[in-house]
Structure 1
Amino acid sequence: MRFANTRILITAAASGIGAAAARRFASEGATVVMSDIDNDRLVACAEAMKSLPGRITTHAADVSDERQIQDLVAHAATTLGGLDVLVNNAGLGCHGRVTELSTDDWRRVLGISLDSVFYATRAAMPHLITSHGCIVNTASISGLAGDYGFAAYAAAKGGVVNLTRTLALDHARDGVRVNAVCPGLVATQLTRKFFDNARIARAYEDAIPMGRAAQPEEIASVIAFLASSDASYVTGVNLAADGGLMAATGQPNFTRLM
C-alpha cells in the first residue's frame, strides 16, 4: 500500500504502459483518474481493475487538445481533492523521413507526444506545487538518440526528454520532482506490427542485449518507482528501460562475428 492516499492522473491509460501503470498504482492503494481518447476501452479497462485496493475513475480526453486537457486536470483535481502525481504517458509514432512526412503527420505526432506533456504539466503544476507532488513522463530511447526513418517521433520524444530536465530545474525549489522513463521496445498493441514481421522481430532480438521486448508491467514498475518516496532525491532523470540497448555503441557485435 505504498500509494495509499496518493492522488494520480494518468493519460493514455486504456492500454499498454498506461493501463499497466494504473493497475500498479491501484494495486498499491492509489486513487487514480485514468484518461484516454477511447472512452469505451478506457471504461472496460477500469472495470477490469475494480477489485484492486485503490479507487479508479475515468475521464475521456484528447491529449492533443489544450482545452480538453485543461478540463481533464480540473476534473481530476476536483474529483480527487488535489493531485499528487501526473503521469504523462501519451505517445504516437509515424514512420517517415522529413521529405516523406506530411505537415499533418508531423503536427499529429508532436501534438500527441509533446504538446500533451506541456498542456497537462502547465495545468497540473499549481496542484502539484501545493501537494509537493511529482511528474513522470513516458519518453523513449528515441528521445535519447536518433532512429532511422522516425523524424517526427524522435523530435517529439527528444522534446519530452529535455522538457523533463528543464521542468525539474524550474520546479525543484517548489518541491515538485519531474522525471521520465525512456522505454525501448515494449510489447503493446501499438508495437504488434513489429512482432508480426519476422525480419523486424529478429532484428530487435539481435539488437537488445536481453534478447526480448519489455512487458508493459516492467515499465509500470519504473514509473511507480519514480513516483514513489523511494525516489525522493531523484529529479531531472530520463531513465532508460530498454533491456540494455542504449549501453551499446552501435558497432557490430564482434563477439558474435569473430
Structure 2
Amino acid sequence: MSLSAHYPCLAHKSVFITGGATGIGAAMVRAFLLQGAQVAFVDLDNAQAEKLLNELSEFSAQLWFRCVDVRQLTHLQQAINAAAEHFAGLSVLINNVANDKRFDTEHISVDEWQNCLQINLDPAFFASQAAIPFLKKQGGAIINFSSINAITGQPNMAGYVTAKAGLIGLTKALARDYGGYGIRVNAILPGWVATERQLESWFTAEEQQRWLETTCIKQFIQPSDVANLALFLASEQSALITGQGINIDAGRI
C-alpha cells in the first residue's frame, strides 16, 4: 500500500465502514489505516473479510471487524456501538454497503424491491442514527455512498436508482439537522468503478468501451480513487463542505 496524501488530522480517529471487505470498502479500510486511523468495518462476506484482515495483519491493533447482515438493523446499530466502545469514540461513519443487482421493472417482486431498499438505503439511516450520539460529542463526518445512476437512471435498476437518490436526500436532511454539532454529511456519487466484482459481472469489455466514450478523462475509476475522495471528506480540510453530493466519474456527468 502507498500513501498518496497525508491528513494528520485523521491519525487516531475512529472510522466505521459498512461493506468494508471488498471493492471500494476495502480500499477505504486500507486508505484510512495508512493515515493512522482506527478502522472498524462490517460485512456479510466473512471469508473476504478474514482475507483482508490477514493482508492487514500489521495494523491489527487499529482494526475491528464484525460479520453483520446490514438488513438486520438492530445488529448493525449494535456493531456501531461496540466499535465505538472498542475505540473509545467514533469520528467518521461511511455508509458504503450496496448491491446493484438488476431487476426487470415490470417483473420485480415486492420482496425483491424491499430487499433492494433494505440493503442500499435503510442501513445508511439507521447506521447514522446510531453514530450521531458519538459524533455530537466531538463533531465528525458522515459519508454516504450514492451513485451517478441517481442522476442518469439506468435500465432495469429502478430499486437501486431509487435508493441511491434517497441517499442524496438523506445527506441533505442530516446535514441540516446536525451541522450545529459540527457534523458534516456528504455523499459520494461514483461512476462505474472497476472493482473485481464489476469486472467479473457487468463491466464487460463492451461496457468499458462505451464508458470511455462518454467520459472526459479516458481512464477507468479505481477503488483507490474513490477512497482518496473519502479521505478528504473525512478530514478537517473539508471543514465547510456539507450537504453536498460529489461526483467522481471522470467527467461522465
Same fold flag (TM > 0.5) = yes
Query: Could you report, residue by residue, the CA deviation over 1:57-115 in whole angstroms, capped at 9, with x for unpaired residues?
Result: 21111111111111111111111111000011001112234312122221121111100
Q: 1:153 to 1:165 in 2, by over 3 A?
A: same
**Of 205, 216, 223, which residue of structure 1 is paired with 2:230?**
223
Cross-structure match for 2:144: 137
Aligned partners of 1:82 and 1:131 also within 8 Å: no
Q: How much has 1:53 moved relative to structure 2?
A: 9.5
TM-score normalised per structure 2: 0.92
1:54-73 aligned at under 5 Å gives the runs 55-73=62-80
The answer to which of 8-17 and 201-210 deviates more is: 201-210
1:18-57 aligned at under 5 Å gives the runs 18-52=25-59, 55-57=62-64
Cα distance between partner residues in 1 of 2:197 and 2:215:
19
Q: How much has 1:6 moved relative to structure 2?
A: 0.3
Cα distance between partner residues in 2 of 1:225 and 1:28:
11
Cross-structure match for 2:210: 203
Q: How much has 1:150 moved relative to structure 2?
A: 1.3
Query: Could you report, residue by residue, the CA deviation over 1:99-136 in whole angstroms, capped at 9, with x for unpaired residues?
Result: 12122221121111100101101111111111211101
Which protein is bigger by CA-based radius of gyration?
1
Cα distance between partner residues in 2 of 1:198 and 1:43:
31
| Local SS of the residue matching 1:136 | strand
Query: Does residue 233 of structure 1 match 2:216?
Result: no
Cross-structure match for 1:189: 196
| Local SS of the residue matching 1:156 | helix
Cross-structure match for 1:164: 171
Cross-structure match for 2:23: 16
Cα distance between partner residues in 2 of 1:143 and 1:79:
36
Q: Which amino acid in 2 is paired with 1:148?
A: P
Cross-structure match for 2:97: 90
Percent identity at matched positions? 33
Cross-structure match for 2:3: none
Aligned partners of 1:204 and 1:212 also within 8 Å: no
Q: How many residue pairs get matched?
A: 245
Cα distance between partner residues in 1 of 2:102 and 2:207:
14
TM-score normalised per structure 1: 0.90
Q: How much has 1:51 moved relative to structure 2?
A: 2.8
Q: Which amino acid in 2 is paired with 1:194?
A: W
Aligned partners of 1:136 and 1:181 also within 8 Å: yes
Cα distance between partner residues in 2 of 1:22 and 1:44:
13
Unaligned runs of 5+ in 2: 1-6
Cα distance between partner residues in 2 of 1:89 and 1:137:
6
Q: 1:75 to 1:169 in 2, by over 3 A?
A: same
Cα distance between partner residues in 1 of 2:98 and 2:234:
19
